[in-house]
């Protein structure tokens, strides 16, 4: 882990207001997982979220209109730093734009401001 990155991130998160994309807390996320795991009407076309299992863990995804596209995950507050850092490192410590492209294809609730 990169301590300098982490400190800068924590500082930024304290000062930023994310209006459009509210990050889901771990508790909210668990609630959504429970609801989606139940017997709710899964054929309701208004349901925008679904569950997938990744390495034995239930993950919430935002469904896409076209099924061919890969689903986009919902990231929680406590996951955000690792997700951003991973994307940044995966681009070879690439810039904001490169990192953003990767992230927004994979996650449904990451805004440009967070990066």
Per CB under 5 A, residues contacting Zn ion are: 93
Minimum Å distance from CB 81 to Zn ion?
13
Q: Which C-beta is closer to Zn ion: that of 103 or that of 108?
A: 103
Q: Which C-beta is closer to Zn ion: that of 93 or that of 97?
A: 93
Q: Which C-beta is closer to Zn ion: that of 93 or that of 113?
A: 93
What b/e string do you get for 61-92 counting C-beta neighbours within 10 Å, with b at 16 or more?
Answer: beeeeeeeeebbbbbbeebbbebbbebbeebe
Radius of gyration of the chain (CA): 15
Q: Which C-beta is closer to Zn ion: that of 64 or that of 93?
A: 93
The answer to whether 103 and 115 have CB atoms below 8 angstroms apart is yes
Minimum Å distance from CB 106 to Zn ion?
19
Minimum Å distance from CB 9 to Zn ion?
11
Minimum Å distance from CB 12 to Zn ion?
14
Candidates 86, 115, 79, 85; CA nearest to 100 is 115
């Amino acid at each position: 882990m990169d301590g300098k990155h982490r400190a800068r991130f924590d500082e930024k998160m304290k000062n930023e207001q994310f209006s459009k994309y509210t990050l889901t807390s771990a508790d909210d996320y668990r609630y959504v997982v429970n609801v989606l795991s139940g017997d709710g009407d899964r054929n309701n076309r208004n349901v925008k979220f679904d569950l997938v299992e990744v390495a034995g863990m239930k993950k919430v995804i935002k469904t896409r209109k076209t099924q061919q596209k890969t689903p986009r995950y919902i990231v929680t507050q406590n996951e955000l730093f690792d997700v951003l850092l991973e994307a940044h490192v995966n681009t070879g410590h690439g810039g904001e734009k490169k990192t953003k492209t990767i992230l927004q294809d994979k996650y449904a609730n990451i805004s440009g401001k967070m990066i």
